[in-house]
């Protein structure tokens, strides 16, 4: 019998009627659960719960809010195996990768444990005669997060951790493809002592998304997903007067200089291009060797490394990656492989047609490698989001800088080199938001901030770190004077100055 995945509102499961969606087991290609697809009615129930709880939570001092984060962190660590298994069963990534998903989200929660320090304002004594000025960061009220299927633990924690630590209530709308982990995280937050109504989870599709974008009580929205939807959410949300950050797709490049350690590069590329079946916005699906000699040497080493990759079920401890999330996504990836071949790319390793004995209906794709891909190819311009690595040969360093800089996406980029000057020049000049030097997946640590440029990011403020604190709060500045009782004779009709 299929299990039902309910909303989580006001600290408990809420089973709405109406439409449901299928949640698959990607390893078997079979439906394992039904998720309830909510409407504006379910959203209103969540908003009502958030409105009832948020004022008292905002009035709770930051140290007490931090203690809830500490307890939540401990509970997530205790339930790590359970969360990873649940995540893998719906997403398809291998267990080790699912634990990494949870852990990277937990690192932001660790940062939130220091929220008293992060919320400290500024103070100036004697800004003018007898005048002091100070600032404070105050919560917005209710925030919402619309999260993608590829990181069902990490990205919700990236969003609700800072928002809740800052004193807001929060509503998560997870992907309907793998919605169980966000619900479980909300349950653990409640167990950690978070008041009912501060963290709610509502399920749904575009109908629910539009209801969130249009609800006047939701003051800020964070989104991660495809660029077209990110642009839509940013445009509609800001038109409704909301603060919005919307992160989209990517086509990250890995620049390989002639002096790079190619054995290390191959090892890094194998993980960055094919890990999690390439379903990462920070994956490395394009490698750019500088010079044909570098390209030929890299290709020679890449082919056996790719052919040695093990594709298996999520619970296979020896598998490098598992299935993709759905049959539709598998077919989409395979269509891009055919597209790139039709455009003139050399198909060196073809991952189509891969099957796993005993799991013939699973959504598996083998690793794929293309060489001689051109910047004019549509398959190069667009995000494939699968286990496909495209090699684009650059004739020199200048072309290697230009390729990622001129691409529509500007999420991440990496350069592999032993030359400090080349690395410094590249990092200064490349028109991309996050840069790695001999680091293939340059996701910033939790006390910095995540955010891409161009069509990879809409909005001016990044996720988590101090940027996240800024996004989920509003700044208030107070200018105060305590007169001594004497009348100064100042002209009250002239704008005051600090002179």
**Which positions are catalytic?**
281
CB 178 within 8 A of CB 205: no
Angle between helices 227-239 and 206-214 (to 10 degrees): 30
What the block records as the tokens of 474 is 């509003």
Q: For 159, phi and psi rounded to 5 degrees? A: -90, -60
**Residue 427 in 3-state DSSP?**
helix
Burial of 199 (0-12, 13-18, 19+ CB in 10 A): buried
Q: What Å distances lie between residue 494 and 132, 321, 490, 491, CA to CA?
A: 20, 69, 9, 6
How many helices (DSSP H) and strands (DSSP E) are in the chain?
16, 23
What the block records as the tokens of 279 is 């379903």
**Residue 35 in 3-state DSSP?**
strand
Residue from 417, 418, 421, 448 nearest 433 by CA? 448
DSSP string, 180-220: HHHHHHHHHHHHTTPPTTSEEE---SHHHHHHHHH-TT--E
DSSP string, 108-174: HHHHHTTHHHHT---EEEEEETTEEEEEEEEE-SEEEEE--SS-TTHHHHHHHHHHHHTT-EEEEE-
Alpha-carbon distance of 327 to 278, in angstroms, equals 15
Q: What Å distances lie between residue 241 and 43, 141, 216, 218, 238, CA to CA?
A: 19, 14, 9, 10, 5
CA 467 from chain centre, in angstroms, equals 14
Q: Which residue has the tokens 């009627």?
A: 17
């Amino acid at each position: 019998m299929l299990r039902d995945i309910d909303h989580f509102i006001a600290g408990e499961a809420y089973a709405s009627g109406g439409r449901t969606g299928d949640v698959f087991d990607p390893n078997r290609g079979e439906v394992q659960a039904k998720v309830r697809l909510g409407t504006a009615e379910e959203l209103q129930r969540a908003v009502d719960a958030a409105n009832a709880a948020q004022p008292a939570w905002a009035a709770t001092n930051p140290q007490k809010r931090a203690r809830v984060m500490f307890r939540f962190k401990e509970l997530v660590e205790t339930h790590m195996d359970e969360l990873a298994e649940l995540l893998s069963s719906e997403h398809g990534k291998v267990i080790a990768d699912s634990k990494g998903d949870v852990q990277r989200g937990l690192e932001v929660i660790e940062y939130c444990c220091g929220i008293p320090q992060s919320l400290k304002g500024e103070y100036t004594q004697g800004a003018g005669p007898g005048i002091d000025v100070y600032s404070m960061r105050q919560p917005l009220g209710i925030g919402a997060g619309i999260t993608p299927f590829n990181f069902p633990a990490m990205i919700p924690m990236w969003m609700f951790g800072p928002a809740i630590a800052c004193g807001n209530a929060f509503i998560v709308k997870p992907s309907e493809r793998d919605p169980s982990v966000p619900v479980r995280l909300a349950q653990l937050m409640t167990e950690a002592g978070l008041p009912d109504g501060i963290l709610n989870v509502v399920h749904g599709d575009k109908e629910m998304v539009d209801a969130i974008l249009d609800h006047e009580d939701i003051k800020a929205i964070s989104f991660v997903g495809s660029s077209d939807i990110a642009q839509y959410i940013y445009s509609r949300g800001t038109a409704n007067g909301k603060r919005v950050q919307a992160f989209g797709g990517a086509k990250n490049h890995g620049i390989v200089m002639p002096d790079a350690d190619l054995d290390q590069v191959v090892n890094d590329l194998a993980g960055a291009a094919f890990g999690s079946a390439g379903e990462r916005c920070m994956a490395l699906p394009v490698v750019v060797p500088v010079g044909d000699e570098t390209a030929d040497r890299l290709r020679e080493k890449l082919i056996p490394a790719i052919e040695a990759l093990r594709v298996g079920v999520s619970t296979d401890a020896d598998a490098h990656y598992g299935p993709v999330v759905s049959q539709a996504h598998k077919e989409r990836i395979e269509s891009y492989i055919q597209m790139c071949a039709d455009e003139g790319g050399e198909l060196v390793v073809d991952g189509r047609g891969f099957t796993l004995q005993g799991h013939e209906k699973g959504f598996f794709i083998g690793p794929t490698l293309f060489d001689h891909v051109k910047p004019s190819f549509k398959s190069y311009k667009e995000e494939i989001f699968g286990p496909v690595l495209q090699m684009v040969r650059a004739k020199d360093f200048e072309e290697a800088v230009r390729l990622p800089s001129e691409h529509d996406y500007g999420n991440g980029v990496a350069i592999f080199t032993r030359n400090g000057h080349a690395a410094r020049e590249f990092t200064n000049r490349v028109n991309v938001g996050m840069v790695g030097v001999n680091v293939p997946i340059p996701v910033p640590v939790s006390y910095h901030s995540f955010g891409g440029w161009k069509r990879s990011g809409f909005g001016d403020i990044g996720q988590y770190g101090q940027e996240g604190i800024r996004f989920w709060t509003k700044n208030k500045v107070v200018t105060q004077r305590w007169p001594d009782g004497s009348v100064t004779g100042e002209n009250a009709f002239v704008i005051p100055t600090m002179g």
